Amino acid sequence: MSDEFLAVAAREIIQYDPDAKIILITASDDQKIIRQCLDSGASSYISKPFDFNAILKGISDILAK
């Protein structure tokens, strides 16, 4: 999936299920794309290479809300 499509995918998922929690994992660290994804409904965004603890923290943060 292209990085530009991530924001579209997040928006589509949220339209289908407004309660969905989305953690995007991608190789891009482009701040514009990250902002678009978060503004489109993604709960968290993790760039590769990622630390496994970053994934656990993302999940924990989502579950704590």
* Residue 8 pLDDT greater than 80, yes or no: yes
What domains are there in the chain, each with its CATH number?
A: 3-64 (3.40.50.2300)
- 47 SS3 class: strand
Continuous H helices in 1-65: 3-16, 31-39, 52-64
The CA R_g of the chain, rounded to the nearest whole Å, is 11
Q: 10, 13, 8: which is closest to 42 by C-alpha?
A: 10
- pLDDT for 25: 86
pLDDT of residue 13: 94
The chain-wide mean pLDDT, for the chain, equals 87
**Predicted TM-score of the model (pTM):** 0.74
pLDDT value of residue 60 = 92
**Per-residue confidence at 2, pLDDT binned at 50, 70, 90?**
confident
